[in-house]
Structure 1
Amino acid sequence: AIDRLPVVPGLMEVVGIGYSGWFAYKNLLFKPDRKAFFAKVRNIYEDIISG
């Protein structure tokens, strides 16, 4: 249904690529940020598994 609109699929693709780039820059590119991100993921995982 959404692919019937001419601009929406391309716009959604650009938004997704932009967000992925921002996320990688903010959380994965530099070592201190990467360590903090994986620590958050580990804490959330442990909360889910133990709860």
Structure 2
Amino acid sequence: MPKNNTNLETQKSHVPTEPDSSLKGTLIFTMFVGLFIVGSWSAIFFLFLNRM
């Protein structure tokens, strides 16, 4: 039967991590790109409807 080495498990689970970075800028940029795509599509669609 294998022995449980709790000291080794404790050392493995303690991994230093970097602090979480803020994703606020990513969210804002993604929303801007999404609004640009929707706005462009709407403008082209209404231009199409006007020319029918």
TM-score (normalised: structure 2)? 0.45
- Of structures 1 and 2, the one with the larger relative CO (CA 8 A, separation 6+) is 1
Larger fraction in helix: 1
Question: Which of structures 1 and 2 has the bigger CA Rg?
Answer: 2
